[in-house]
Structure 1
């Protein structure tokens, strides 16, 4: 059977092809989940905000506001750069799974060393 082009694959097929565990936002009970040492975050982004801030969870998404304008995915790029500092990782350790040009996003953060207070609280409850 001929191999499918990646551009023609759906999310599940891509995840299987790349050996990535699929975390569909509707299936997640919380705004974050762990895939080994990778933190998977569902985000509700707000571009062009007055200041960069990690807000409160809204359903199964974490509200994050950034000052960058939403032009050609620049707000998401800025968010990734800013979150890298917040989680104590390099920018290259954050992957935008989907939503680069949308307010609904999913990020994968490899081996974060720091956590925002909202995640620290939930992690303390699970221990």
Structure 2
């Protein structure tokens, strides 16, 4: 299984979030998840809100199309991006 897959017109991402990072960046692929470093702290939902904002910018979609389906209180998250055609070129595995 990959860290992402199509589900109809949507794209599902399987991420392991590392909050309080020095910079925002996608990291290594770990079996069926991909590490994502974000600057926001995991306090009062700030990391989740920041994650939605960061993914919307990265994928070029409105924030309303980003849904954290599971893992709201966990580092491991399943995120749905509604009506997302494909991964940005920079995120393709080699």
Fold shared by both chains (TM-score > 0.5): yes
Q: Is the 8 A contact 1:56 1:118 kept in 2?
A: no
Indicate the structure whose relative CO is greater, using CA pairs within 8 Å and at least 6 residues apart: 2
Structure 2 unaligned residues grouped into runs of 5+: none
Task: Tell me the matched-pair count.
Answer: 93
Which moved further from structure 2: 84-93 or 108-117? 108-117
Cα distance, 1:37 vs. partner?
Answer: 1.3
Q: Larger Rg: 1 or 2?
A: 1
Q: Is the 8 A contact 1:87 1:116 kept in 2?
A: no
Cα distance, 1:116 vs. partner?
Answer: 5.0
Which one has a larger percent strand, Structure 1 or Structure 2? 2
Structure 1 unaligned residues grouped into runs of 5+: 1-28, 123-127
Residue 9 of structure 2, aligned match among 8, 32, 37? 37
Residue 66 of structure 1, aligned match among 13, 20, 38? 38
Cα distance, 1:74 vs. partner?
Answer: 1.2
TM-score calculated relative to the size of structure 1: 0.68
Which one has a larger percent helix, Structure 1 or Structure 2? 1
- Report what 1:117 is aligned to: 90
The structure-2 alpha-carbon separation of the partners of 1:82 and 1:54, relative to structure 1 and needing over 3 Å to count, comes to same
- Report what 1:103 is aligned to: 75
RMSD: 1.6
- Report what 1:86 is aligned to: 58
Establish whether residue 50 from structure 1 lines up as the match of residue 22 from structure 2: yes
